[in-house]
Every structure is written in C-alpha cells, then in structure tokens.
Structure 1
Amino acid sequence: MEDIRSVRMSKEEQDEFLGSGGTGVISFTPPSDGPPYTRPISYGYDPDTGNFYFRLAVGPEDAGKRDILDEDREIAFVTYDETDRGWRSVIATGRLDEITKSALDPDVTEAMQRVRIPFVDVYDSHPLTLDFRFFRLTPDEVTGQQEAGTED
C-alpha cells in the first residue's frame, strides 16, 4: 500500500494554488448540536490582503440560509485539487463580514477588482429570482497542505 505524505504549503504556494478564485466548500458552525451547514461555493482570493470573497445566493425559499448568513458564525472554507504535483488543499477559518453598498470602501473595491469569483450555477431557482450577497473572509487561520510524494 502506498504511503502518501503531506507537507505544509508556504504562503507563496498557497497564493499560487488559490489564484484569483475558484471553487470550494463552505461550512457554517451549527446553531445547536446539529450538523454544520455546508455548501459548494465559488470564491475570489486577493493575495495582497489574504482575504477571500464569496457571492452567496439566497432564494425566496431559503429562510434557513438567510438566518445563517445574518448570524455571526464561525466558518471553515476548504478548496482542494489534484495537480501535476499531486493533491493540494487550503483551509481558511474565521467569520464572514457582509459587503454592503453602504459599507463599500476603496480598499474593498480595489480588492474586488483583483479577484475572480466564478459563477457556478448550482441553484434550485432561476438566478434572476435570487438575492446575491457578497461577503469577505479575513481569515483567523489559513493552512495549506500538499502531497509530498509516495513511498512503497
């Protein structure tokens, strides 16, 4: 059986892997003893600040999701991929800050121009019926792991 080892990625390796955006999975801490609220998501990443940006959709039938977004909860965001050098993943944790028009400052505007949040259609409703909200994650912690190699 193969023994696949991993090593921690440097900040430069994390920035390269994250690029300006992609896809991953976001998990919100549960309100009680239930499971976390976990969904696939696209993200934008700004290597200048180390912040992540998310565009979250809330449909007319998503009262539970709206409640989760309106509460101050800890989140974990994970992105993973297989590359020519093996697997790589990054995990970021912290709390989301909503980016509203009234709170939009020049630094956020500049950062949003540096990121690319892919539009991934995973919605049950037509996108025109959804309310899109933007959030920033200034992570408390970011860790990256990558495959180091294989041993026999």
Structure 2
Amino acid sequence: MNADERAAFLGTGGTGVLSVSTDDPAPHSRPVSYGYDATDGVFYFRLALGSDRERADLAGRTVSFVTYDHTDAGWRSAIATGPLEETTEESIAIETLQGLERTHIPLIDVFGTPPKEVSFGFYRLVPTDLTTRKEAKTEI
C-alpha cells in the first residue's frame, strides 16, 4: 500500500491484536482498540491493566501490533513493531496530546465489567517497522 492507502486503511482508529513477548513459548496476545495518527505515523492504545506491576512491565517492551480487514476490494493488513511508550512520561506528554487529538480509540467492552470500572493505561507505539499489505487481484 502507498501512504494514502495505508492512512485510509488505518483510519483514526479501530481494533487489532497486540502481542508482547514473554518468557513462555508463546507471546502474550490480546485484542485491543487503537487510535492512529497518520500525521506522525503513531499508534495509541488504551490498555486494560490488572496492577501497577503490569503497567511497569509494558513500558519499553517491544511489541507487535496487527490489524486486518476484508472488504469487497479484498483483504488489507498492517503490522507495526516497536517499543511501547507510556504516555504519562513528561518527555512525550505534549506530543501525545497533539497526536491523540487526531485519533479515535474505540471503547470496546470485552471485559464483562463496565469500562468505567476497569483500570486503563495509555501507551503509544512509534513503529520501528510498519508493513502493510493488500490483496493482489489477478485475472484468471
């Protein structure tokens, strides 16, 4: 996809899967909602957290984020990798506020608990690698 197609596909937000490496054989993967700032090429996440330790464990960790869609035009996907940054850090707070103004992170209730009762942390991903693909139409 070119830059315009990528921006149109990612929009200002949607859903995907965020994976964090672990000591276990399999990564820790969870469905998440995201916001995307096409101006700066940054992803924003509102992640449900169970404890302060869990929050500390995420900051600085390299993650992989995947989003996918299938339409009449065919399938599209994006894979972004890089370190998660906690948005409360002073060094990125102003950039984050400006970027969040250009995004929309859907609020999705997948917890069985009302979202207002869930503890959330806000993170951003400035991808070190962003790969997009689309279905190639071939004539038979």
After TM superposition, the score normalised by the length of structure 2 is 0.88
| Residues 53-74 of structure 1 deviation map (CA, whole Å, 9 limit, x = unaligned) | 0000114xx688546425x321
How far off is 1:11 after superposition? Answer: 1.9
* Correspondence 1:75 to 2:63: yes
SS at 1:117's partner residue? Answer: coil
| Structure 2 runs not aligned, ≥5 long | none
Query: Which residue number corresponds to residue 89 of structure 1?
Result: 77
Bigger drift between 142-151 and 43-52 goes to: 142-151
Aligned to 2:134: 146
Aligned pairs (5 A) from 1:1-152: 9-30=1-22, 32-59=23-50, 65-66=54-55, 68-70=57-59, 72-100=60-88, 102=90, 105-150=93-138, 152=140
C-alpha spacing 1:33/1:151, structure 2 compared with 1 (3 Å): farther
Pairwise CA distance, 1:150: 3.9
What TM-score results when the alignment is normalised by the length of structure 1? 0.82
How large is the RMSD of aligned CA atoms in angstroms? 2.1
Counterpart Cα distance in 1 of 2:48 and 2:58: 10
Alignment partners' CA distance in 2, 1:11 and 1:146: 13
Going from structure 1 to structure 2, the CA distance change for 1:12 and 1:39 (only over 3 Å counts) comes to same
Q: Quick check: which has more Rg, 1 or 2?
A: 1
Distance 1:101 1:94, change over 3 A: closer
Runs of at least 4 residues off by over 6 Å: none
User: Which of the pair is proportionally richer in strand?
Assistant: 1
Match of 1:5 in 2: none
Counterpart Cα distance in 2 of 1:12 and 1:78: 19
Change (3 A) 1:33 1:51: same
> Any stretches of 5+ residues in structure 1 without a counterpart?
1-8
